[in-house]
């Protein structure tokens, strides 16, 4: 039986940079060929999010041909110098995304906010408006745009391509407020695209994980929403 809280949308932009965050400390940045689970989840959280629930990315459809372009960038160097770095971006990207939300069982204090219809229709409205916050395709310099769509509609460049494996790549982060564990961990997986479609495995199904640091869950209380009473956010949260 299909979930009742599924959302479908299109996200696109002139360029994107979906890189492994662990490798971003160096001067050179190189994009993955496809968006990571975490990047798509971040886009959806920019569209609509509450600590009551967790977004899960179910499936991705790559609409445009995968193309990259390198660009010389002079990053801010606080120690002086005139360093030149090369960033490799994806260009002219467009994706269709299907996702759903599930209640965050680690937040029993928000149980009264578990109104599926309320959050589903709010998410649909925000998709139509392009999101509550700005959309970025991997990094801040890559502006993205969100529109509603029917997942699977239209013609994609990989509709009859067959299978394409992308090897081992970053899947996402395990945050303590979602897992209930006092640590931040990174997940890895091996995605395979079949005729333009990529089905994401759930976070708990990722077999390769690496702990990054110890971290405690973020606490959300009334003080976090000071000044928002006029918008009804505190009463409706």
With 50 as the cut, is the pLDDT of residue 176 above it? Answer: yes
233 — pLDDT class (breaks 50, 70, 90) = very low
In a domain, 171, yes or no: no
**In this predicted structure, what is the pLDDT of residue 234?**
42
In a domain, 216, yes or no: no
In a domain, 31, yes or no: yes
In a domain, 180, yes or no: no
In a domain, 211, yes or no: no
Q: Which residue has the higher pLDDT, 181 or 60?
A: 60
Q: What is the mean pLDDT of the chain?
A: 87
> In 3-state terms, the chain is what percent helix, strand and coil (to 5)?
20, 35, 40
In a domain, 56, yes or no: yes
**In this predicted structure, what is the pLDDT of residue 78?**
63
How many domains are contained in the chain?
1
Instruction: Flag the least confident range among 14-18, 45-49, 221-225.
Output: 221-225
d(CA 139, CA 31): 10
Domain that holds residue 104: 6-162+193-201
**In this predicted structure, what is the pLDDT of residue 142?**
95
Tell me if residue 46 falls in helix, strand or coil: helix
**In this predicted structure, what is the pLDDT of residue 1?**
36
In a domain, 218, yes or no: no
**Domain at 19, CATH number:** 3.30.70.2660
pLDDT tens across 21-66, in order?
766 666 678 899 999 999 999 999 999 999 999 999 999 999 999 9
217 — pLDDT class (breaks 50, 70, 90) = confident
Q: Which helix (H) or strand (E) holds 176?
A: helix 176-179
d(CA 15, CA 35): 12
pLDDT tens across 127-161, in order?
999 999 999 999 999 999 999 999 999 999 999 99
Q: Which residue has the higher pLDDT, 57 or 81?
A: 57
With 50 as the cut, is the pLDDT of residue 109 above it? Answer: yes
On whether the CB atoms of residues 54 and 105 are closer than 8 A, the answer is no
Q: Which residue has the higher pLDDT, 27 or 205?
A: 205
d(CA 64, CA 225): 40
With 60 as the cut, is the pLDDT of residue 195 above it? Answer: yes
**In this predicted structure, what is the pLDDT of residue 84?**
73
Please return the burial class of 5, using the count of CB atoms within 10 Å of its CB with bins 0-12, 13-18 and 19+.
middle
In a domain, 125, yes or no: yes
The single-letter DSSP state of residue 27 is: S
pTM of the model: 0.86
The single-letter DSSP state of residue 115 is: -
């Amino acid at each position: 039986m299909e979930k009742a809280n599924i959302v479908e949308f299109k996200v696109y932009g002139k360029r994107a940079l979906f890189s492994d965050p662990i490798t971003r400390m160096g001067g050179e940045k190189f994009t993955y060929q496809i968006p990571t689970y975490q990047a798509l989840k971040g886009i959806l959280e920019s569209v609509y999010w509450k600590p009551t629930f967790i977004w899960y990315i179910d499936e991705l459809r790559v609409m445009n041909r995968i193309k990259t372009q390198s660009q010389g960038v002079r990053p801010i160097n606080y120690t002086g110098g005139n360093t030149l770095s090369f960033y490799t971006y994806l260009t002219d990207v467009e994706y269709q995304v299907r996702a759903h939300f599930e209640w965050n069982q680690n937040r029993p204090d928000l149980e009264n906010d578990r109104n599926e219809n309320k959050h589903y229709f709010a998410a649909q409205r925000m998709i139509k408006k392009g999101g509550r916050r700005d959309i970025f395709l991997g990094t801040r310099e890559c502006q993205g745009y969100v529109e509603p769509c029917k997942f699977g509609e239209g013609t994609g460049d990989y509709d009859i391509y067959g299978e394409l494996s992308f090897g081992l790549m970053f899947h996402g982060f395990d945050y303590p407020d979602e897992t209930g564990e006092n640590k931040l961990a990174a997940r890895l997986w091996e995605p395979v695209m079949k005729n333009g479609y990529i089905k994401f495995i759930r976070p708990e199904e990722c077999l390769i994980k690496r702990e990054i640091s110890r971290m405690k869950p973020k606490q959300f209380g009334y003080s976090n929403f000071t000044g928002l009473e006029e918008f009804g956010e505190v009463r409706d949260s």
